[in-house]
Structure formats: structure tokens, C-alpha cells
Chain A
Amino acid sequence: MKRTVKIWLWSLLAVLLSVGLIIASLQWSHQNVSELTRHHNSQLSPVIMIPGSSATENRFDGLVSEINHNRTNPHSLLKVKITNDDKLHFTGRLRPGDNEPFIVVGFQNNKDGYSNIKQQARQFNVIFHTLVSRLNFNNFKAIGHSNGGLIYTVFLENYFDQYSNDVRMTKLMTIGSPFNFNERSIDNKTQMLSDFIKNRNKLPNNLSVYSVAGTKNYTSDGLVPLVSVAAGRYVFQGAVRHFTTITVSGSNAQHSDLPENKQIVDLINRYILHSTRVPRARQNEPRLH
């Protein structure tokens, strides 16, 4: 008789424990599956662009409309501006079904100089954090014009490792980025370049980097010395998976014209973008079947 009571007591305890365990694990399961689903269904792979100093979030409007020219599936354009109090202001919207939207970032403090670049990189991290949690992408492409490329480098070396499990930067294109500011010789390394080289082991090793340089004459693009752009190799070469340097010349190859340069638009289409272009059919054009 005593044993029966004991068995019942133990069974009761077992049932209570099981119910607790079932509830706790069920909660985990729902959460886990919804996370898996979100990740699986998110094929979003945005292109995040940072303009150079003194530029706003509208800097790349021309570039984007050039890329979207004659497409029935245009990339949507989302703009984020961050003010000095770290508040975000969004404009533009994402077209449903667009897997490759452009996101352009603007800073209220868009001044030149290493300390400002560090400040902008910190603010970019704030923006990036919000974008990742809102849009739930697991990979993205990056384009930085002028100082934008430097902001990306600071971001990659100091902030990006917290996302490394969830988000992958697949490609980075820097356009006319002065890795050694205005120094005309690599022997005079600026503080920024020294820092970049010191922390280069923190760069993601599965990243492909394209460094594009413009030209006005043989030594500079009118503002940035070619040597300063080329100094990027001391940062990236050997630390990332691929590092490619490209020099463009001809019309629109001066520093501030670079985002509208036809060749660079072509390079972005070829190296950065993935979604295939669906051209608009011209009227009266006979269709072949």
C-alpha cells in the first residue's frame, strides 16, 4: 500500500515537471522555427552606400537612376539620415519583391578628418544595427565613395565582428577613397592608415574588395592623390579574400564626378549587383517566339 502511494506521488511530480518542460521547450521551439523561417525566406541582399564628406544622403540619386534606367524591375532606394543625437530619419520605400534595394546613408556631421570619420563609423553602426533588425538580411554589399570607403574600413575593423555570425558583407567597392588622405608618399603614413594596417586582421576574410581610382592627370583625380587611393592595398591585400584595384580615366573621371562615371556604373552592375536586368520592351518592337 505504501509503495502505491509512493508511485502516485512520484508520478504526480513527474507529470508536473513534464508539463513545465513541455511549456518551456514549446516556447523555444516556436521562437526557433519562426527565426529559421525568417532567415530562410529573407533573400534580401541590399546595397548600402556611404557618400563622401560634405555630401548628403541624396548624393547617389543620379547613380541609382542611371542603374535603373530602362529596367522594369528597378532597385528601390531607401535613404537614412542620422542626426547628431543618433536619431534616424528614413525617406523612400522598398518595393515589395525587390531583393536588392539601395540604401544610402547620410550624416548630419559630414565633415572631413579622422576624428569625424570615426564618429561617422560609430553612427553608421547605429544605422546598420537598425537596418539588420528591421530588414533581417543575412548578407549585403557595400559601396563607399571617397570618405565613405574610409568609414566602411573603420566600421569593418571596429564594429562588424558583432554581426559576423548573422550578416555577411560579400562585396565592398571603394570609389576614390583616400586611405592616406592627401599624402603623396606612402612613407608618410597618416595616423588613420597606421590604425587601418594595425587592425587589418579584423577584416572579414570572405570579403571581396574593389578599389576604384579616378584620374585627372597621371598622379591624382584632381583632389585625391593616386598614391593615397593605392595605399588601400596595405590595408586589404592579403587580409580579405579578393582585392582588386581599378583605375578609370576619360570623361567624368574626376573625384566628385566618379559616381556618375559610365564605367563605374558598369563596374557596379558587373561586380556588385546580382539581380538580372529585365529590360523594358520597346513599343512596336516585334517579339520573336
Chain B
Amino acid sequence: MDQLMARSMKAYQSKFARVIQDTLALLFPIMLLGSFAEVLKYSFLTPSGFVATVFGVTKWLPAARQISQLLGLIVHCTVDMIALYGAYGITYCTVKAYGRQTSAMSGAIGLLAFLMAAYQPHSHGRLLFNSTLMGQGLLIALIIGYIVGRIIVAFEKRRALRSYQIIWPLLLVVVFSIVVNVVVSLTRSPEVQSFISSTALHAVQASALSYVIGMGLLTDLLSWMAVGGPFSASPTFTDPAALTNLNHALKTGSAFNAPFKYTDVTLFHSFANFGGNGAVLAMIIAILVFSKRQRFLTVSKWSIFPALFNNNYAMMLGIPIVYNPIFLIPFLLAPLVNMLVAASFLALKWIPAAVYPVPSGTPGPLIGFLGTNGNWLALILGAVLIFVDVLIYMPFVKLYDRLDRNRGEQ
């Protein structure tokens, strides 16, 4: 642990890490607002959402649809465009860290570069941007913004940069963005997409257990990199395996002996996704109990509400978990342990598989409970697993606490 401490201390204090952290801190309030709006919209005010279904919110709340539309406005401009703010922030922070003078101009250029990369050239003159890139392309935005920032700094070092002298780096940035745009549109071509989606068909095969665990971990890893993974954020219950399971359960009147025991719903969504990818709900509890740093406590308190409904965006950027090597280990370890334990319970037929559809935005620990139509052991297992996850997160939370304190003192 001490070795890890020393090594991460060094990485933590590097300029580059500083730039990333400052950028993510900039995004946190925007993302927090977005995640509140998203939870309220999709779980509370959409008729198919969890709270709306269980408490009939849309039936008695006047103007529920209008409020939901307004919340949609917030969601679209925050969560769905987060990469935009990321591109602005990282360019600004890069120039601030590496350059001699900070200029608001650099942030604008980073924004320009990302917008140029995300613009869709075949949109017949309308302003159409690549929505996948805007919502899930934070990694790409950070790379673009960082490179743009370094270009600006490189030119700055030759002579003191005035705004009319920024034309040459600007030109370079424009050429660079066009290249990125072409590369991005190539990866969006149908051939590449069909290759990607064809890998998702193996869920119903015999080796499903290792497949589900592998894909679950990949989803968590990609979410740590702020990229969307193969498993959706909430269970959809529309894939063939889930439908077969449901039909079997309805026919026999029991969720035991489901034909497909190990699916993304029965393992990943039911037991490994409390509070969103990486069992972040457990991390919040671990911080609230063990951490002494005011910053982490504040972020965690704000993140409780969205995390209850499996929305972890605020935590990802606020702590931050994204690109944070220390938290990568528990972020993957906790879901892995959960999936393995749940799989052995399923294999021993101690709990039935979660086959009945649950509304979107159902709190993580309740998915397994409601998906089995109220199997108490499934609920208890979920609670125990959260406790185990808190223990898994505990040493890392303490380590990060120490790291943050040391830096604060220096």
C-alpha cells in the first residue's frame, strides 16, 4: 500500500494530472445539475419510470409532462453535451498550466476545435453535430483540447502572443480538427458499426457467464474512461434472452429455472450496478463514513440522490473517479466480486433469476428484488453485497484522503 501511495503521489502531483483534475472539477456542477434533471425526468416524471410507476406521479401531478419537457432541456444541454464543456475546460487549463499567460481565447479555440470535429458534414447545411460525440465523447474532447492547448503554448513560447497573432496556431488547429472529423466519420461508417454490434450477440450462448462478466467489466472500464460501454445504463428487458426468460417464468409461474440464468440483467444490472457503473453507491457510503476531507464529503452528499437511481455522473466527475488510477481498482473489483457471488447463488438455485421487467430508473438494489417478484434472499444478498463493496472501497478512500491531504499541505 505504501508503494502504491508513493507512486500515485508522484502521478497525482504531475502537471498533467492537475490539468485533468481542474477540468473535471469545472464540469462537476454542470453534470450534477444534469444528473438531478435526468433522474427527475426519467424516474419521476416519465410514465414508465420507477417512481412514476410505483407512486403514480404522472397521474396526480399537474403539468407533469410540461415539467418533464423543461427538465429535458436541462438534460440535453448538460449531460448530452458534456464533452463540449470538457473541450473548453481542458484547453483553458492546459494553457494555464504550461503557458506563460492564461487567455480566455484558448478555451474558445478548444471549443472551436471540438465543434469542428463533431460537426456532421452531410447535414445539408443545417447545424448538426454528432450527438454520440457530444454526450459520450468526453475522452475524445479531452484529447483534442489537450493537443490544441499544447499547440497554442508552443506558439506562445516563440513570442508573446496577442490575439491577432493567434491566427497561425488557429489555422493549425483548424486543419487538425478537420482530420479528426474525417477519422470520426470513418469510424461511424456502417461496416465498423456492424462489427461492433456483432460482438454483442453472444449473450445467449453457452459461455454466457464469462461473457457477461467480461462485458460487465468492459462497461465499467469504459465508463471509467468516460466512454459508453456495451451494456446499457439500465436494463431494457427487450433482448431475446430476457424475453425467453420472462415467457418461461410466466408459463411456469416461477422465476427459478430460467433458460438464461446469466445475462446482463440477472448479474450485471441486478447486483453489480448499485448507484451506476462501479457500484458507486457503495463508494458514496464509504466516503461518508471514512473520509475526512470536506471536498469529498460535499461531493458525495450531493451525489446521493442521483446515485440512488443509478446515476453516477456527478461522482465520476466530482471526486473525480474518471481517469483516477487509484479508484480504477475498486471500480472494477467491486462489480466483479458482486457478479461472481450472485452467479454462484444463481448456480446453487438459492435465488431465482431476475426475469420480470422493472421500470427504468429503479434503484440498483431493488432491480434484483423486483425482477424476481420479491425474493427476499435476493434483497438481502444485494444489501450484503453493498456492505462488501463498502469494505472494498474503504482502503482506497482512506488512501485517496491521505493523498489529498498531503497535497493540500504542500
| A residues with CB within 8 A of B | 7, 10, 21-22, 24-26, 28-30, 32-33, 36-37, 40-41
Q: Would you call B289 and A7 a contact (CB within 8 A)?
A: yes
Q: Would you call B373 and A33 a contact (CB within 8 A)?
A: yes
Neighbouring B residues of A24 by C-beta, 8 Å? 54-55
| CB nearest to A25 among chain B residues | B54
21 A-B pairs within 8 Å (CB atoms) are namely A21-B54, A21-B363, A22-B369, A22-B379, A24-B54, A25-B50, A25-B54, A25-B366, A26-B370, A28-B53, A28-B54, A29-B356, A29-B358, A29-B373, A29-B374, A32-B356, A33-B356, A33-B373, A36-B250, A37-B250, A41-B251
Q: Would you call A40 and B54 a contact (CB within 8 A)?
A: no
Neighbouring B residues of A25 by C-beta, 8 Å? 50, 54, 362, 366, 369-370
Chain B: minimal CB distance from A40 (Å): 4
Neighbouring A residues of B103 by C-beta, 8 Å? none
Count: A-B pairs, CB below 8 Å: 43
Neighbouring B residues of A33 by C-beta, 8 Å? 356, 373
Neighbouring B residues of A41 by C-beta, 8 Å? 250-251
Q: In the complex, which residues 22-58 of chain B have their Cβ closer than 8 Å to any Cβ of chain A?
A: 50, 53-55
Closest 7 A-B residue pairs measured CB to CB?
Answer: A40-B250, A29-B370, A33-B373, A28-B54, A26-B374, A25-B54, A37-B250
Q: Would you call B250 and A30 a contact (CB within 8 A)?
A: no
| CB nearest to B370 among chain A residues | A29
Q: Would you call A40 and B251 a contact (CB within 8 A)?
A: yes
Range class of the B interface residue count: 20 to 34
Chain A: minimal CB distance from B382 (Å): 11
Chain B: minimal CB distance from A9 (Å): 12
Contact string against A for B residues 246-259, beta-carbon threshold 8 Å, 1 for contact and 0 otherwise: 11001101000000
Chain B: minimal CB distance from A7 (Å): 6
Contact string against A for B residues 232-274, beta-carbon threshold 8 Å, 1 for contact and 0 otherwise: 0000000000000011001101000000000000000000000
| CB nearest to B373 among chain A residues | A33
Q: Would you call B366 and A21 a contact (CB within 8 A)?
A: yes
Chain A: minimal CB distance from B145 (Å): 39
Q: In the complex, which residues 356-391 of chain B have their Cβ closer than 8 Å to any Cβ of chain A?
A: 356, 358, 362-363, 366, 369-370, 373-374, 379
Neighbouring A residues of B246 by C-beta, 8 Å? 36
B139 proximal to A (CB < 8 A): no
Inter-chain CA distance A7–B369, complex, in Å, is: 26
Neighbouring B residues of A26 by C-beta, 8 Å? 369-370, 374
Chain B: minimal CB distance from A190 (Å): 41
Inter-chain CA distance A26–B54, complex, in Å, is: 9
| CB nearest to B365 among chain A residues | A18
Neighbouring B residues of A10 by C-beta, 8 Å? 288
Chain A: minimal CB distance from B385 (Å): 15
Q: Would you call A40 and B247 a contact (CB within 8 A)?
A: yes
By CB atoms of chain B within 10 A, which of A24, A25, A37 has the most?
A25
Chain A: minimal CB distance from B22 (Å): 30
Contact string against A for B residues 335-374, beta-carbon threshold 8 Å, 1 for contact and 0 otherwise: 0000000000000000000001010001100100110011
Inter-chain CA distance A22–B362, complex, in Å, is: 11
Q: In the complex, which residues 168-216 of chain B have their Cβ closer than 8 Å to any Cβ of chain A?
A: none
Chain B: minimal CB distance from A11 (Å): 9
| CB nearest to A33 among chain B residues | B373
Chain A: minimal CB distance from B190 (Å): 32
Inter-chain CA distance A33–B50, complex, in Å, is: 15
Inter-chain CA distance A25–B374, complex, in Å, is: 9
| Residue in contact with B288 in the complex, picked from A7, A28, A36, CB distance below 8 Å | A7
Neighbouring B residues of A29 by C-beta, 8 Å? 356, 358, 370, 373-374
Chain A: minimal CB distance from B310 (Å): 14
Chain A: minimal CB distance from B265 (Å): 15
Neighbouring A residues of B50 by C-beta, 8 Å? 25
Neighbouring A residues of B356 by C-beta, 8 Å? 29, 32-33, 36
Chain A: minimal CB distance from B398 (Å): 16
Neighbouring A residues of B247 by C-beta, 8 Å? 40
Chain B: minimal CB distance from A8 (Å): 11
Q: Would you call B55 and A30 a contact (CB within 8 A)?
A: no
Q: Would you call A37 and B363 a contact (CB within 8 A)?
A: no
Inter-chain CA distance A30–B369, complex, in Å, is: 11
Inter-chain CA distance A33–B252, complex, in Å, is: 13
Inter-chain CA distance A32–B356, complex, in Å, is: 9
Inter-chain CA distance A25–B369, complex, in Å, is: 10
Chain A: minimal CB distance from B327 (Å): 22
Contact string against A for B residues 123-142, beta-carbon threshold 8 Å, 1 for contact and 0 otherwise: 00000000000000000000
Inter-chain CA distance A29–B373, complex, in Å, is: 6
Inter-chain CA distance A22–B251, complex, in Å, is: 26
Neighbouring B residues of A40 by C-beta, 8 Å? 247, 250-251
Chain A: minimal CB distance from B397 (Å): 15
Chain A: minimal CB distance from B54 (Å): 5
| CB nearest to B363 among chain A residues | A21
| Residue in contact with A37 in the complex, picked from B55, B253, B289, B370, CB distance below 8 Å | B253
Neighbouring A residues of B289 by C-beta, 8 Å? 7
Neighbouring A residues of B369 by C-beta, 8 Å? 22, 25-26
Inter-chain CA distance A25–B253, complex, in Å, is: 20
13 more A-B residue pairs beyond the given contacts A25-B366, A26-B369, A37-B250, with a C-beta to C-beta distance below 8 A: A7-B289, A21-B363, A22-B369, A22-B379, A24-B55, A25-B370, A28-B53, A28-B370, A30-B374, A32-B356, A33-B356, A36-B356, A41-B250
Neighbouring A residues of B55 by C-beta, 8 Å? 24
Chain B: minimal CB distance from A277 (Å): 26
Neighbouring A residues of B379 by C-beta, 8 Å? 22
| CB nearest to A34 among chain B residues | B373
| CB nearest to B379 among chain A residues | A22
| CB nearest to B358 among chain A residues | A29
Inter-chain CA distance A10–B285, complex, in Å, is: 11
Chain B: minimal CB distance from A167 (Å): 19
| CB nearest to A29 among chain B residues | B370
Inter-chain CA distance A21–B250, complex, in Å, is: 25
Q: Would you call A30 and B251 a contact (CB within 8 A)?
A: no
Inter-chain CA distance A33–B373, complex, in Å, is: 7
Inter-chain CA distance A26–B251, complex, in Å, is: 21
Neighbouring A residues of B366 by C-beta, 8 Å? 21-22, 25
By CB atoms of chain A within 10 A, which of B54, B246, B356 has the most?
B54
Neighbouring A residues of B370 by C-beta, 8 Å? 25-26, 28-29
Chain A: minimal CB distance from B296 (Å): 14
